[in-house]
Structure 1
Amino acid sequence: MIDYTGGIKEYIELEKKTLESLPIVDINNVMNILENARLNQKRIFICGNGGSASTASHFKCDFNKGISYAQDIKYDFECLSDNVPMMMAIANDIGYDEIFVVPLKNKLKAGDIVIGISGSGNSANVVKALEYANSTNAETIALTGYDGGRLKQIARHNIHININNMQITEDIHLILDHMMMYILSGMKGC
Protein backbone atom coordinates (compact mmCIF):
# COMPACT_ATOMS: atom_id res chain seq x y z
CA MET A 1 0.00 0.00 0.00
CA ILE A 2 1.33 3.43 -0.98
CA ASP A 3 1.13 6.23 1.59
CA TYR A 4 -0.34 9.30 -0.15
CA THR A 5 -1.07 11.15 3.10
CA GLY A 6 1.84 13.58 2.71
CA GLY A 7 0.68 14.66 -0.75
CA ILE A 8 -2.93 14.88 0.42
CA LYS A 9 -1.99 17.13 3.34
CA GLU A 10 0.22 19.29 1.10
CA TYR A 11 -2.61 19.80 -1.42
CA ILE A 12 -5.11 20.68 1.31
CA GLU A 13 -2.70 23.18 2.87
CA LEU A 14 -2.05 24.81 -0.52
CA GLU A 15 -5.81 25.06 -1.14
CA LYS A 16 -6.42 26.62 2.29
CA LYS A 17 -3.57 29.11 1.87
CA THR A 18 -4.91 30.16 -1.55
CA LEU A 19 -8.48 30.49 -0.25
CA GLU A 20 -7.27 32.74 2.56
CA SER A 21 -5.74 35.12 0.01
CA LEU A 22 -8.85 35.50 -2.20
CA PRO A 23 -9.65 39.06 -3.32
CA ILE A 24 -12.83 39.52 -1.24
CA VAL A 25 -13.52 43.04 -2.56
CA ASP A 26 -13.33 41.81 -6.17
CA ILE A 27 -15.69 38.91 -5.42
CA ASN A 28 -18.15 41.29 -3.76
CA ASN A 29 -17.96 43.63 -6.75
CA VAL A 30 -18.68 40.80 -9.22
CA MET A 31 -21.61 39.57 -7.12
CA ASN A 32 -23.13 43.05 -7.20
CA ILE A 33 -22.67 43.25 -10.98
CA LEU A 34 -24.40 39.88 -11.39
CA GLU A 35 -27.29 40.84 -9.11
CA ASN A 36 -27.75 44.13 -10.97
CA ALA A 37 -27.87 42.18 -14.23
CA ARG A 38 -30.57 39.91 -12.81
CA LEU A 39 -32.65 42.82 -11.51
CA ASN A 40 -32.30 44.67 -14.83
CA GLN A 41 -33.02 41.47 -16.80
CA LYS A 42 -29.72 41.47 -18.67
CA ARG A 43 -28.26 38.30 -20.14
CA ILE A 44 -25.08 36.79 -18.79
CA PHE A 45 -22.92 34.75 -21.17
CA ILE A 46 -20.18 32.55 -19.76
CA CYS A 47 -17.47 30.46 -21.44
CA GLY A 48 -14.29 28.50 -20.91
CA ASN A 49 -12.29 25.55 -22.28
CA GLY A 50 -11.76 22.11 -20.73
CA GLY A 51 -12.29 22.18 -16.97
CA SER A 52 -13.24 25.84 -17.25
CA ALA A 53 -16.02 24.90 -19.70
CA SER A 54 -17.35 22.53 -17.06
CA THR A 55 -17.20 25.30 -14.46
CA ALA A 56 -18.99 27.69 -16.84
CA SER A 57 -21.77 25.13 -17.32
CA HIS A 58 -21.98 24.64 -13.56
CA PHE A 59 -22.37 28.42 -13.05
CA LYS A 60 -25.25 28.40 -15.56
CA CYS A 61 -27.02 25.60 -13.70
CA ASP A 62 -26.54 27.09 -10.24
CA PHE A 63 -27.61 30.61 -11.21
CA ASN A 64 -30.53 29.69 -13.52
CA LYS A 65 -31.98 27.05 -11.22
CA GLY A 66 -30.34 27.19 -7.81
CA ILE A 67 -30.47 30.94 -7.20
CA SER A 68 -33.38 31.81 -9.49
CA TYR A 69 -35.82 29.10 -8.44
CA ALA A 70 -37.52 31.01 -5.62
CA GLN A 71 -37.05 34.50 -7.06
CA ASP A 72 -39.57 36.46 -9.12
CA ILE A 73 -36.83 37.97 -11.29
CA LYS A 74 -34.63 35.17 -12.59
CA TYR A 75 -31.06 35.02 -13.80
CA ASP A 76 -30.59 34.57 -17.55
CA PHE A 77 -27.27 32.74 -17.90
CA GLU A 78 -26.15 31.14 -21.17
CA CYS A 79 -23.08 28.93 -21.32
CA LEU A 80 -21.39 29.37 -24.69
CA SER A 81 -19.38 26.19 -24.07
CA ASP A 82 -22.50 24.00 -23.93
CA ASN A 83 -23.47 23.99 -27.62
CA VAL A 84 -20.98 21.43 -28.96
CA PRO A 85 -22.43 21.19 -32.51
CA MET A 86 -22.24 24.98 -32.95
CA MET A 87 -18.71 25.14 -31.51
CA MET A 88 -17.56 22.36 -33.84
CA ALA A 89 -19.17 24.00 -36.89
CA ILE A 90 -17.51 27.33 -36.10
CA ALA A 91 -14.16 25.68 -35.33
CA ASN A 92 -14.28 23.70 -38.57
CA ASP A 93 -15.54 26.46 -40.87
CA ILE A 94 -14.04 29.60 -39.32
CA GLY A 95 -11.54 28.74 -36.60
CA TYR A 96 -11.40 27.58 -32.99
CA ASP A 97 -10.55 31.08 -31.76
CA GLU A 98 -14.00 32.24 -32.95
CA ILE A 99 -16.21 29.65 -31.19
CA PHE A 100 -17.48 32.10 -28.56
CA VAL A 101 -17.45 35.30 -30.62
CA VAL A 102 -19.85 34.08 -33.32
CA PRO A 103 -22.75 33.34 -30.93
CA LEU A 104 -22.07 36.61 -29.09
CA LYS A 105 -22.39 38.51 -32.37
CA ASN A 106 -25.86 36.96 -32.73
CA LYS A 107 -27.12 37.73 -29.21
CA LEU A 108 -25.04 40.17 -27.13
CA LYS A 109 -26.56 43.55 -26.34
CA ALA A 110 -25.18 46.59 -24.52
CA GLY A 111 -25.42 46.09 -20.78
CA ASP A 112 -25.25 42.29 -21.00
CA ILE A 113 -22.35 40.52 -19.29
CA VAL A 114 -19.71 38.16 -20.66
CA ILE A 115 -17.75 36.05 -18.16
CA GLY A 116 -14.59 34.34 -19.36
CA ILE A 117 -12.97 31.58 -17.31
CA SER A 118 -9.36 30.65 -18.02
CA GLY A 119 -6.77 29.31 -15.61
CA SER A 120 -3.93 30.82 -17.61
CA GLY A 121 -5.93 33.87 -18.66
CA ASN A 122 -4.64 33.37 -22.19
CA SER A 123 -7.21 31.12 -23.89
CA ALA A 124 -7.45 32.80 -27.29
CA ASN A 125 -11.15 32.09 -27.82
CA VAL A 126 -12.07 33.44 -24.37
CA VAL A 127 -9.87 36.51 -24.90
CA LYS A 128 -11.61 37.19 -28.24
CA ALA A 129 -15.02 36.85 -26.58
CA LEU A 130 -14.14 39.48 -23.96
CA GLU A 131 -12.53 41.78 -26.52
CA TYR A 132 -15.71 41.63 -28.59
CA ALA A 133 -17.88 42.20 -25.50
CA ASN A 134 -15.81 45.25 -24.56
CA SER A 135 -16.38 46.66 -28.06
CA THR A 136 -20.18 46.46 -27.59
CA ASN A 137 -20.33 48.14 -24.16
CA ALA A 138 -21.13 44.88 -22.44
CA GLU A 139 -19.67 44.25 -18.99
CA THR A 140 -16.76 41.81 -18.90
CA ILE A 141 -15.67 39.61 -16.02
CA ALA A 142 -12.70 37.25 -15.96
CA LEU A 143 -11.94 34.40 -13.59
CA THR A 144 -8.23 33.68 -13.89
CA GLY A 145 -5.23 32.04 -12.24
CA TYR A 146 -1.44 32.14 -12.68
CA ASP A 147 -0.55 35.80 -13.51
CA GLY A 148 -4.02 36.47 -14.95
CA GLY A 149 -2.75 36.59 -18.51
CA ARG A 150 -4.39 38.67 -21.19
CA LEU A 151 -7.87 38.30 -19.64
CA LYS A 152 -6.82 40.08 -16.47
CA GLN A 153 -5.60 42.98 -18.60
CA ILE A 154 -8.73 43.37 -20.73
CA ALA A 155 -11.62 42.39 -18.44
CA ARG A 156 -13.38 45.29 -16.75
CA HIS A 157 -13.69 43.12 -13.62
CA ASN A 158 -11.51 40.22 -12.57
CA ILE A 159 -11.32 37.64 -9.82
CA HIS A 160 -7.72 36.49 -9.94
CA ILE A 161 -6.60 33.34 -8.14
CA ASN A 162 -2.95 34.16 -7.57
CA ILE A 163 -1.34 30.73 -7.83
CA ASN A 164 0.64 28.89 -10.52
CA ASN A 165 -1.37 25.69 -10.17
CA MET A 166 -4.19 24.76 -12.54
CA GLN A 167 -5.90 22.30 -10.20
CA ILE A 168 -6.13 24.76 -7.29
CA THR A 169 -7.21 27.53 -9.69
CA GLU A 170 -10.01 25.39 -11.13
CA ASP A 171 -11.05 24.22 -7.65
CA ILE A 172 -11.43 27.79 -6.48
CA HIS A 173 -13.28 28.94 -9.59
CA LEU A 174 -15.91 26.32 -8.76
CA ILE A 175 -15.85 27.33 -5.09
CA LEU A 176 -16.63 30.90 -6.23
CA ASP A 177 -19.72 29.59 -8.03
CA HIS A 178 -20.91 27.72 -4.94
CA MET A 179 -20.07 30.62 -2.63
CA MET A 180 -22.10 33.02 -4.77
CA MET A 181 -25.01 30.57 -4.99
CA TYR A 182 -24.96 30.05 -1.21
CA ILE A 183 -25.03 33.77 -0.50
CA LEU A 184 -27.31 35.01 -3.31
CA SER A 185 -29.95 32.32 -2.83
CA GLY A 186 -30.06 32.80 0.94
CA MET A 187 -29.15 29.14 1.46
CA LYS A 188 -27.12 29.88 4.59
CA GLY A 189 -27.79 27.16 7.09
CA CYS A 190 -29.12 24.65 4.52
Structure 2
Amino acid sequence: IEQVIYAIEKTIENKAQIYVLGNGGSSATASHMVNDLGVGLSRRKIRDFNISSLADNTPVITAIANDIGYENIFLAQLENKLAKDDVVIAISCSGNSTNIIKAVKYAKSVGSTIIGLTGFKGGELRELSDINFHIQTEGGQYGLVEDMHMILDHIIYSYYIHLGHGKC
Protein backbone atom coordinates (compact mmCIF):
# COMPACT_ATOMS: atom_id res chain seq x y z
CA ILE A 1 0.00 0.00 0.00
CA GLU A 2 2.87 2.37 0.81
CA GLN A 3 4.41 1.72 -2.61
CA VAL A 4 1.11 2.52 -4.32
CA ILE A 5 0.76 5.81 -2.41
CA TYR A 6 4.41 6.70 -3.11
CA ALA A 7 3.91 6.15 -6.86
CA ILE A 8 0.76 8.29 -6.78
CA GLU A 9 2.59 11.05 -4.87
CA LYS A 10 5.42 11.02 -7.40
CA THR A 11 2.86 11.38 -10.19
CA ILE A 12 1.27 14.38 -8.48
CA GLU A 13 4.68 16.02 -7.95
CA ASN A 14 5.50 15.54 -11.64
CA LYS A 15 2.09 16.97 -12.64
CA ALA A 16 1.59 13.75 -14.56
CA GLN A 17 -1.55 11.74 -15.32
CA ILE A 18 -2.99 8.64 -13.67
CA TYR A 19 -4.97 6.32 -15.95
CA VAL A 20 -7.15 3.62 -14.39
CA LEU A 21 -8.60 0.71 -16.35
CA GLY A 22 -10.50 -2.51 -15.81
CA ASN A 23 -13.27 -4.72 -17.20
CA GLY A 24 -16.64 -5.53 -15.61
CA GLY A 25 -16.58 -5.12 -11.83
CA SER A 26 -12.99 -3.88 -12.08
CA SER A 27 -14.25 -1.16 -14.42
CA ALA A 28 -16.63 -0.06 -11.66
CA THR A 29 -13.69 0.02 -9.24
CA ALA A 30 -11.74 2.15 -11.73
CA SER A 31 -14.62 4.62 -11.95
CA HIS A 32 -15.04 4.70 -8.19
CA MET A 33 -11.31 5.32 -7.74
CA VAL A 34 -11.46 8.28 -10.12
CA ASN A 35 -14.42 9.66 -8.18
CA ASP A 36 -12.71 9.31 -4.80
CA LEU A 37 -9.22 10.46 -5.74
CA GLY A 38 -10.35 13.01 -8.29
CA VAL A 39 -13.52 14.84 -7.34
CA GLY A 40 -13.64 13.62 -3.73
CA LEU A 41 -10.26 15.07 -2.77
CA SER A 42 -10.32 18.07 -5.08
CA ARG A 43 -13.60 19.46 -3.77
CA ARG A 44 -12.21 19.21 -0.25
CA LYS A 45 -9.13 21.09 -1.48
CA ILE A 46 -6.90 18.28 -0.22
CA ARG A 47 -5.21 17.11 -3.43
CA ASP A 48 -5.64 17.65 -7.13
CA PHE A 49 -5.17 14.46 -9.09
CA ASN A 50 -4.98 14.27 -12.86
CA ILE A 51 -6.84 10.97 -12.92
CA SER A 52 -9.17 9.39 -15.44
CA SER A 53 -10.75 6.02 -16.15
CA LEU A 54 -10.30 4.55 -19.60
CA ALA A 55 -13.44 2.48 -19.02
CA ASP A 56 -15.93 5.34 -18.67
CA ASN A 57 -16.42 6.76 -22.17
CA THR A 58 -18.92 4.44 -23.87
CA PRO A 59 -18.80 6.09 -27.33
CA VAL A 60 -14.99 5.92 -27.42
CA ILE A 61 -14.90 2.33 -26.17
CA THR A 62 -17.53 1.09 -28.61
CA ALA A 63 -15.94 2.93 -31.55
CA ILE A 64 -12.54 1.38 -30.80
CA ALA A 65 -14.12 -2.06 -30.23
CA ASN A 66 -16.03 -1.83 -33.50
CA ASP A 67 -13.21 -0.41 -35.63
CA ILE A 68 -10.05 -2.09 -34.31
CA GLY A 69 -11.20 -4.69 -31.78
CA TYR A 70 -12.20 -4.94 -28.15
CA GLU A 71 -8.69 -6.08 -27.26
CA ASN A 72 -7.51 -2.54 -28.14
CA ILE A 73 -10.01 -0.43 -26.16
CA PHE A 74 -7.43 0.67 -23.57
CA LEU A 75 -4.32 0.63 -25.75
CA ALA A 76 -5.85 2.96 -28.34
CA GLN A 77 -6.75 5.48 -25.63
CA LEU A 78 -3.17 5.50 -24.30
CA GLU A 79 -1.34 5.69 -27.61
CA ASN A 80 0.20 9.08 -28.36
CA LYS A 81 -1.02 10.38 -25.00
CA LEU A 82 0.79 8.37 -22.32
CA ALA A 83 4.02 9.88 -20.97
CA LYS A 84 6.93 8.43 -19.02
CA ASP A 85 5.93 10.13 -15.74
CA ASP A 86 2.34 8.86 -15.97
CA VAL A 87 0.98 5.96 -13.92
CA VAL A 88 -1.34 3.24 -15.20
CA ILE A 89 -3.45 1.48 -12.58
CA ALA A 90 -4.63 -1.76 -14.18
CA ILE A 91 -7.31 -3.71 -12.31
CA SER A 92 -7.99 -7.34 -13.21
CA CYS A 93 -9.08 -10.27 -11.07
CA SER A 94 -7.46 -12.83 -13.37
CA GLY A 95 -4.62 -10.62 -14.55
CA ASN A 96 -4.97 -12.08 -18.03
CA SER A 97 -7.44 -9.85 -19.90
CA THR A 98 -5.99 -9.23 -23.35
CA ASN A 99 -7.12 -5.60 -23.53
CA ILE A 100 -5.45 -4.83 -20.20
CA ILE A 101 -2.24 -6.71 -21.00
CA LYS A 102 -1.87 -4.89 -24.35
CA ALA A 103 -2.27 -1.50 -22.64
CA VAL A 104 0.18 -2.43 -19.86
CA LYS A 105 2.82 -3.64 -22.33
CA TYR A 106 2.51 -0.36 -24.21
CA ALA A 107 2.79 1.61 -20.95
CA LYS A 108 5.95 -0.33 -20.05
CA SER A 109 7.43 0.50 -23.47
CA VAL A 110 6.84 4.21 -22.74
CA GLY A 111 8.43 3.86 -19.30
CA SER A 112 5.30 4.59 -17.28
CA THR A 113 4.81 3.05 -13.84
CA ILE A 114 2.35 0.16 -13.75
CA ILE A 115 0.32 -0.49 -10.61
CA GLY A 116 -1.49 -3.80 -10.94
CA LEU A 117 -4.43 -4.80 -8.77
CA THR A 118 -4.86 -8.53 -9.22
CA GLY A 119 -6.55 -11.58 -7.75
CA PHE A 120 -6.62 -15.38 -8.14
CA LYS A 121 -3.08 -16.32 -9.26
CA GLY A 122 -2.35 -12.83 -10.62
CA GLY A 123 -1.79 -13.81 -14.22
CA GLU A 124 0.45 -11.90 -16.59
CA LEU A 125 -0.50 -8.53 -15.08
CA ARG A 126 1.09 -9.54 -11.79
CA GLU A 127 4.38 -10.19 -13.60
CA LEU A 128 4.26 -7.00 -15.69
CA SER A 129 3.41 -4.65 -12.82
CA ASP A 130 6.05 -2.45 -11.20
CA ILE A 131 3.91 -2.49 -8.06
CA ASN A 132 1.33 -5.21 -7.49
CA PHE A 133 -1.49 -5.34 -4.94
CA HIS A 134 -2.43 -9.00 -5.13
CA ILE A 135 -5.30 -10.87 -3.48
CA GLN A 136 -4.52 -14.60 -3.58
CA THR A 137 -7.78 -16.54 -3.92
CA GLU A 138 -9.24 -19.52 -5.68
CA GLY A 139 -10.23 -18.75 -9.25
CA GLY A 140 -13.72 -17.38 -9.65
CA GLN A 141 -13.94 -15.50 -6.35
CA TYR A 142 -14.58 -12.21 -8.12
CA GLY A 143 -16.60 -10.59 -5.34
CA LEU A 144 -13.88 -11.07 -2.75
CA VAL A 145 -11.12 -9.77 -5.03
CA GLU A 146 -13.19 -6.80 -6.24
CA ASP A 147 -14.10 -5.90 -2.65
CA MET A 148 -10.42 -5.93 -1.63
CA HIS A 149 -9.49 -3.73 -4.58
CA MET A 150 -12.20 -1.29 -3.54
CA ILE A 151 -10.86 -1.36 0.02
CA LEU A 152 -7.44 -0.35 -1.35
CA ASP A 153 -9.11 2.63 -3.05
CA HIS A 154 -10.75 3.61 0.23
CA ILE A 155 -7.48 3.21 2.16
CA ILE A 156 -5.73 5.57 -0.27
CA TYR A 157 -8.66 8.01 -0.10
CA SER A 158 -8.65 7.89 3.72
CA TYR A 159 -4.89 8.46 3.77
CA TYR A 160 -5.32 11.71 1.86
CA ILE A 161 -8.34 12.75 3.93
CA HIS A 162 -6.23 12.23 7.06
CA LEU A 163 -3.35 14.26 5.57
CA GLY A 164 -5.74 17.07 4.71
CA HIS A 165 -7.65 16.74 7.99
CA GLY A 166 -10.83 16.66 5.94
CA LYS A 167 -14.02 14.84 6.72
CA CYS A 168 -15.08 11.75 4.80
TM-score, normalised relative to structure 1: 0.82
| 1:52 match | 26
1:70 deviates by 3.5
- After the TM superposition, which residues 37-48 of structure 1 pair with which residues of structure 2 at under 5 Å, given as runs? 37-48=11-22
Distance in 2 between the 1:72 and 1:119 partners? 31
> Who wins on radius of gyration, i.e. which is larger?
1
Partner residue, 2:153:
177
Matched to 1:137, the amino acid is: G
Alignment of 1:4-153 (within 5 A): 27-71=1-45, 74-153=48-127
Q: Which amino acid aligns with 1:42?
A: A
Q: Which has the higher strand share?
A: 2
Aligned residue for 1:106, secondary structure, equals coil
Corresponding residue pairs, total: 164
Contact 2:46 2:160 in 1 (8 A): no
Counterparts of 1:30 and 1:45 in 2: how far apart (Å)? 14
Cα deviation, residue 68, structure 1? 2.8
Residues 29-59 of structure 1: CA deviation (Å, up to 9, x unaligned): 1111111211221100010000000000000
Specify the code of the residue in structure 2 equivalent to 1:129.
A
Runs of 4+ aligned residues of structure 1 deviating over 2 Å after TM superposition are 67-73, 187-190
Cα distance between partner residues in 1 of 2:41 and 2:161: 5
Secondary structure at 2:11 match in 1: helix
Task: Note the alpha carbon deviations across 1:51-104, whole angstroms, 9 max, x for none.
Answer: 000000000010111223344751010100001111111111101110000110
Partner of 2:132: 158
Provide the C-alpha distance between the structure 2 equivalents of 1:33 and 1:102, rounded to a whole number of angstroms.
24
Report the residue type matching 1:175 in the other structure: I
Query: Residue 41 of structure 1 contacts residue 73 of structure 1 at CA under 8 Å; is this kept in 2?
Result: no
Query: Which letter does structure 1 place at the counterpart of 2:31?
Result: S
Identify which range, 69-78 or 87-96, moves more after superposition. Answer: 69-78
Decide whether the 8 Å contact of 2:18 with 2:51 is kept in 1.
yes
SS in 1 for 2:43: coil
Provide the aligned C-alpha RMSD in A: 1.5
Return the alpha-carbon distance in structure 2 between the equivalents of residues 147 and 184 of structure 1: 30
